[in-house]
Amino acid sequence: MSQPSSMPADDRFHSAHVPELCPGFIRLTWDPVWAVEKRIRVCDYTCDCVPTFYELCQAGGQYFIRRTRRVGGEVLVDQSALGGRAQTFLVWIKVLTGVAG
């Protein structure tokens, strides 16, 4: 049996990285996390190797985006408003492309 090779130094093991915000970006409203449902399903996420990363979440038929920030040794978590699938997916694409944040 062969030994597993060490992990490559490239980005094959990273999730999507959110680019810098575009000039004139759409400023999203972020609210403190509230208990929506007991079960939250993470549908997609960005790489957590950077200080700010995002998760596209679903709970009870509603969708939202959760933002996690590591600032000065603290972990701050907030989320967008609840919305329908199509509406929230459009916002998610804007976050992934740096158009909104």
Q: What is the pLDDT of residue 94?
A: 96
The percentage of the chain sitting over the pLDDT mark of 90, rounded to a whole number, equals 67
Distance CA 5, CA 3 (A): 6
Residue among 7, 11, 92 nearest 54 (CA): 92
> Helix, strand or coil for residue 89?
helix
Q: What is the pLDDT of residue 7?
A: 41
Q: Domain count of the chain? A: 1
Does the pLDDT at position 49 exceed 70?
yes
Q: Does residue 3 fall inside a structural domain?
A: no
Does the pLDDT at position 48 exceed 70?
yes
Q: What is the pLDDT of residue 12?
A: 62
Give the count of alpha carbons within 13 A of 76, CB side only. Answer: 10
Domain containing residue 68: 38-97
As a whole number, mean pLDDT of residues 28-54 equals: 88
Strand partners, 79: 31, 66
Q: What is the pLDDT of residue 36?
A: 60
Q: Does residue 16 fall inside a structural domain?
A: no
